[in-house]
Structure 1
Amino acid sequence: MPPDMSLTTILLLCLAAAAAGWVDAVVGGGGLIQLPALLVGLPQVAPAHVLGTNKAVAIWGTTAAAVAYARRATLDLRRALRIGLAALGGSLAGAFFASGINSAVLRPLIMAILLAVLAFVLLRPTFGVTAQASEVPVTRRRVLTAILVAGLGIGFYDGLIGPGTGTFLVLALVAMLHMDLVTASGTAKIVNVCTNVGALVTFSLQGSVIWQLAAPMALFNLAGGAVGARMALKRGSGFVRVVLVVVVVSLVCKLGYDQWGG
């Protein structure tokens, strides 16, 4: 724990962790809140330690949400775990390269993808509101594509940078496997647990986690994740869709500010 950190700063970081857990549980993208909060609260700490601490916190809320979805929603756990195992490998590799990558190089590309996603979601009001499995069959090729893209690809991104991972997972699962948004959110949580495990293992082995700070933040993140999952399950895909649009717009604004306004 940095010696000059005040109790007020710790409390504010815990509240940010709770908010991040809620957003992550509903549609993903909690890193948009938690990672910037850690960067502001730990200005003198190396980026690798901030990323590692972020993963040590995020895994708790994601796990709580995954358990809540698994208990109350109809999920294909076998398929989710297959994608999750690929994501674990991808995040291990991404975290390994995290200390040597310039994230500013990736921001314009991520923003372009998010803007395309936002336009797609807004122009298709029924996207993810109802399951489309009956219209287009989920073939083995689609499942394999999901394993490679949502697993290895997004898993690698999560280990490398992280913010927006849950949102990318939800969108990929809806597009590739024709899930409704609630089912996609539940499946994404299981996959996201695996990406967090992979990244956290790498950061832990490198000694890049501030465990004294991660512990109290994790409790708040866990509570936020549990509440968010229950709200998403209770209110359905329409509610998740609204939160999805808000999170994507916020993520674009945050990346744009980091790129050109910082």
Structure 2
Amino acid sequence: MIATLLVAAAMAGWVDAVVGGGGLLLLPALLLAAPHLPLATALGTNKLAAICGTSTAAFTYARRTTIDWAVAGPAAALAMLCAGCGAALAGAIPASAYRPVVLAVLIAVAVFVTVRPQMGLREHTEKRTPWRRGLAVAVAGAGVATYDGLIGPGTGTFLVLAFTTIVGADFVHGSAMAKIVNTATNLGALIVFAATGNVAWLIGLGMAVCNIAGAVLGARMALHRGAGFVRIVLLVVVLALIVRLGWDQFTIRS
């Protein structure tokens, strides 16, 4: 169990640092390797490991690239509050209510990124208008952050796409901003889960160490290899999310 969780945490840290979506690996690993944990505790433990990785990746990006703080700063502040609200509601909304919607959004994302091969490969500074910055803050800081508190997997991916499509960031700079906001969403959710006693601290701290190692490696690879590499990883993660959610939907209906 411990070996499975540590390996999953390292892999999730790498995926999260590059393009988000590490929860696709980490949360299922927790549920499978530690079936005795209640769902809320699994979510809280996932947040403990994830915040260590995302904050490390955010620091690595901030040191090596420029950050649009006019977007990332307000989005992070709003995200912390909204993710906490989402975490407080975790478990109140059944998975059957959100799974088809998220699945449809992911399919649309995969098609959009595929048919727009130049999207996210270079910066579009002409998109950095005040209303677009405000829209990005609202979408990332409110919509995606609430989803992260409620559910989690795919949050980083949605954040990257929000910043690339709305304000025209390339994938590397979009990932940098996503890590900052994702750190805030993890913190907001973790505070709520910790306050309600839904964190397995010993398991979570061990996973956090491996998550940090994976995050450092992933952030450095993304910065070194550039936007094209991030785009490929993005498509792989989105397709994996589609398969996972589609399988859940099919098996539950069956």
TM range (shorter): over 0.9
Aligned counterparts of 1:63 and 1:140: Cα–Cα separation in 2: 27
Q: Which position in structure 2 is the counterpart of 1:200?
A: 190
**Deviation for aligned residue 1:44:** 2.2
**Deviation for aligned residue 1:168:** 0.1
Runs of 5+ in structure 1 lacking a partner? Answer: 1-8
Q: Which position in structure 2 is the counterpart of 1:118?
A: 110
**Deviation for aligned residue 1:137:** 3.4
Deviations 1:52-99 (A, max 9, x none): 000011000101100000000111234311110111111011000003
Deviations 1:114-150 (A, max 9, x none): 10010010001101001112xx332111111111111
Q: Which position in structure 2 is the counterpart of 1:156?
A: 146
Q: Conserved in 1, the CA contact under 8 Å of 2:85 and 2:149? A: yes
Q: Which position in structure 2 is the counterpart of 1:212?
A: 202
Q: Normalised by the size of structure 2, how large is the TM-score? A: 0.97
**Deviation for aligned residue 1:33:** 0.4
Structure 2 counterpart SS, 1:207? coil
Task: State the one-letter code of the partner of 2:55.
Answer: T
1:29-178 superposed matches below 5 A = 29-133=21-125, 136-178=126-168
Aligned counterparts of 1:14 and 1:78: Cα–Cα separation in 2: 36
Q: Which position in structure 2 is the counterpart of 1:27?
A: 19
After the TM superposition, which segments of 4 or more aligned residues of structure 1 sit over 3 Å from their partners? Answer: none
Q: Which position in structure 1 is the counterpart of 2:250?
A: 260
Q: Conserved in 1, the CA contact under 8 Å of 2:5 and 2:207? A: yes
Aligned counterparts of 1:260 and 1:49: Cα–Cα separation in 2: 26
Structure 1 counterpart SS, 2:106? helix
Answer yes or no: is 1:247 the counterpart of 2:237.
Answer: yes
Aligned counterparts of 2:212 and 2:69: Cα–Cα separation in 1: 21
Runs of 5+ in structure 2 lacking a partner? Answer: none
Task: State the one-letter code of the partner of 1:150.
Answer: A
Q: What count of residue pairs does the alignment treat as equivalent? A: 252
Answer yes or no: is 1:238 the counterpart of 2:225.
Answer: no
Task: State the one-letter code of the partner of 1:243.
Answer: V
Task: State the one-letter code of the partner of 2:205.
Answer: A
Q: Normalised by the size of structure 1, how large is the TM-score? A: 0.94
* Same amino acid, percent of matched pairs: 50
